[in-house]
Amino acid sequence: MLDVLLVKPNEHPQNVSIGAELKDLQEAVGGSIDAVYPFADPVAIICHDEGKLMGLPLNRALRDEDGQMYDAVAGTFLVVGLGEEDFASLTPELAQKYEQLFHQPEAFLKLGNRLLVLPVPDEPPAEKPRTKPPAEHDR
């Protein structure tokens, strides 16, 4: 079993335990997998390898060291640790680091040929109670 981070579109990441076999990883992301290694830490992102082609919802932006988005992951993905020759469980420190990195769900808005990424708020803003102006006879 692997202790990994499961990140679904429009949801907060979850710490989960899944099997280490290929079929377990495929089941978690909904199809054939691709592993990408965008971070210096010993972690990988496992995602659906045809997620964008299939039109899966964009999930989270990948950003460079300046905070600029250079890619986005489509569909559900996993953040896993890297062992000597295979995927491994995340250490508690790495699990916490990547939970914080991917904590806020993101919405993607296409503006011409640009993509705008917006954090999705946790709670809808509460409506302020409306106070009606005092009636003439109350003044």
Convert the pLDDT of each residue in 12-46 to its tens digit: 999 999 999 999 999 999 999 999 999 999 999 99
Specify the pLDDT at position 100: 96
Specify the pLDDT at position 93: 98
pLDDT-derived band at 57, boundaries 50, 70, 90: very high
DSSP letters of the chain? -EEEEEE-TTS--EEEEE-SSHHHHHHHHTSSEEEE--SSSSEEEEEETTTTTTTPPEEEEEE-TTS-EEEEEES-EEEEEE-SSSEEPPPHHHHHHHHHHT-S-EEEEEETTEEEEEEPPSSPPPPPPPPPPPPGGG-
| pLDDT at residue 102 greater than cutoff 70 | yes
Region 41-53: mean pLDDT is 97
Specify the pLDDT at position 121: 84
